[in-house]
Structure 1
């Protein structure tokens, strides 16, 4: 039976002889088996990262590193308990962090992403997901070289498919998301699920302790927000302005998230002051409102390149 642990990532460096061997095997496997069909499939690089993460986990569990040709497509590996596991991996130049710094001094919590179609495709019948992150060098095509030092796999934890389906936040194409100091829009139909809501692992071998009872228990567990704490505050601000929530609700969210700083808006503060000055020109407000805004927002003049 699995015993809950905080989801602190397991760090596995793939720069030694074994790591390079697994990187080579993953590259060869994708060359021979790349998926070129299906909506929102990963690129060849992304498929390679997923294959590598799966091989690392299988190696740590003492399993064959590559599935047999007749292995079902709906999951990646089968635990001795009969639990079907799908290994998810994203790759990037940055290491995995539980929190990412932002320019306002308030950390943004880490999240994981799923293609929404995975929740609704009956052929993809995994019971749980194991979430991983692969830190890569700038030239990240597998297998890379023996000199590259930035091939590092972070194994973050596991979660039941049903819980992701119940609690994850669906975001359609074009939705805006934030990571630390950067913003980007989603090109696919995504489900966001936050790292803090995963079940942690002290070692990869902890996966062998997961039984059907653990999956059933996790499927009905109620986790924390699948939003950054900052976005929870922003949404509360917005809904107060729309007459849905009150200042009391904002205070509750601030207390629950532990945030007592001013959260920066999505739009730049210069755009806010542009509206305020326009309202003043129209005679709709006075300098006192503008000065009040200056206590929570700051204009940013051009300072050169």
Structure 2
């Protein structure tokens, strides 16, 4: 895992995008504006790693493909947190997103108060389908800190330890080649 500071300019751009564009284009479980902002921040930060600029919502739905690198389609999945990420943490993935035509998932966590993004790791879609755990809508899940929540949609989970670990932007790029 590695963590980077998120530039205030990027955050303001993302707030503007969420205010002016609807990023919830699914038939259900579209996420709140705050959840959409978290996702757009994570996606934009990762896009800058690959010199792809920031998210531009004016072109509409991206089909689940956030960026392409080395002929691989990538979906960036970002969870908002108020704590620093630990190796034992879990990443959530909505089942209704699994049909998107992507090759790679990059899982991130955005610390909302410190304004830092942790790249937890990445995994191929093929390996994700082997390692994920499924929980139907309405399941009660227990977090790392023993608090609970009820799933609002069918959900997959994968732990950080099951992702391909990366320790820098250059390491991430190298592994994705």
TM over 0.5: yes
CA contact (8 A) 1:90 1:134 kept: yes
Which residue of 2 is the match for residue 76 of structure 1?
66
Q: What residue ranges of structure 2 are gaps of 5+ in the alignment?
A: none
1:139-158 pair list within 5 angstroms: 150-158=114-122
Looking at structure 2, the residues matched to 89 and 152 of structure 1 have their Cα atoms a distance apart, in angstroms, of 12
Which residue of 1 is the match for residue 2 of structure 2?
10
In the TM superposition, residue 36 of structure 1 has moved relative to its aligned partner by 4.2
1:1-305 pair list within 5 angstroms: 9-14=1-6, 19-38=7-26, 39-67=28-56, 69=59, 72-79=62-69, 81-98=70-87, 109-119=88-98, 121=99, 124-137=100-113, 150-179=114-143, 180-209=145-174, 210-211=176-177
CA contact (8 A) 1:61 1:205 kept: no
Which residue of 2 is the match for residue 146 of structure 1?
none
CA contact (8 A) 1:88 1:130 kept: yes
Residue 45 to residue 70, structure 1, CA distance change in 2 (3 Å): closer
CA contact (8 A) 1:168 1:192 kept: yes
Q: What residue ranges of structure 1 are gaps of 5+ in the alignment?
A: 1-8, 99-108, 138-149, 212-305
Larger Rg: 1
Say how many residue pairs are matched: 173
Q: TM-score, normalised by structure 1?
A: 0.53
Higher helix share: 1
Structure 1 runs (4+) deviating above 3 angstroms are none
In the TM superposition, residue 184 of structure 1 has moved relative to its aligned partner by 2.4
CA contact (8 A) 1:114 1:192 kept: yes
Looking at structure 2, the residues matched to 31 and 71 of structure 1 have their Cα atoms a distance apart, in angstroms, of 15
Looking at structure 2, the residues matched to 36 and 118 of structure 1 have their Cα atoms a distance apart, in angstroms, of 12
Deviations 1:232-271 (A, max 9, x none): xxxxxxxxxxxxxxxxxxxxxxxxxxxxxxxxxxxxxxxx
Looking at structure 2, the residues matched to 62 and 83 of structure 1 have their Cα atoms a distance apart, in angstroms, of 15
